[in-house]
Amino acid sequence: MQCLEAAVCDVLLFEYAQRHGLANIRTAITKRANNLRGLTSREQDAFWLLIYQVWSEADLRGNGQGFLADLKAVGFSFLRF
């Protein structure tokens, strides 16, 4: 459960950084999400919300996350502020 909690915290911090122009924080969280690319799609599942928010549709599709890529393609959002 710790992975999921950490991923949710990262997503919220990422969204905060985007809204307030905090590029260094956004970059650090993007780097953390990009480090998940080497994992299997099953290992990535604990971080699904983080990778959905950070990765592009092509990145999602290319890393075994086709369902999330399909959602991103239609503009689905899990977060609303």
Task: Please state the pTM of the whole predicted model.
Answer: 0.88
Q: What is the pLDDT of residues 16-75, one digit of tens each?
A: 999 999 999 999 999 999 999 989 888 898 899 999 999 999 999 999 999 999 999 999
Q: What is the mean predicted confidence (pLDDT) over 7-22? A: 94
Overall number of domains in the chain: 1
pLDDT reported for residue 2: 63
The residue among 48, 81, 78 whose CA lies nearest residue 65 is 48
66 assigned to some structural domain: yes
User: What number of other Cβ atoms are within 10 A of residue 54's Cβ?
Assistant: 21
Q: In a 10 Å sphere around its CB, with 0-12 CB exposed, 13-18 middle and 19+ buried, how is residue 56 labelled?
A: exposed
User: What number of other Cβ atoms are within 10 A of residue 51's Cβ?
Assistant: 22
Confidence grade of residue 81 (pLDDT, cut at 50, 70, 90): confident
78 assigned to some structural domain: no
pLDDT reported for residue 77: 93
What phi and psi, each to the nearest 5 degrees, are found at residue 77?
-125, 130
Q: Where in the sequence is the domain holding 17, given as residue range(s)?
A: 2-73
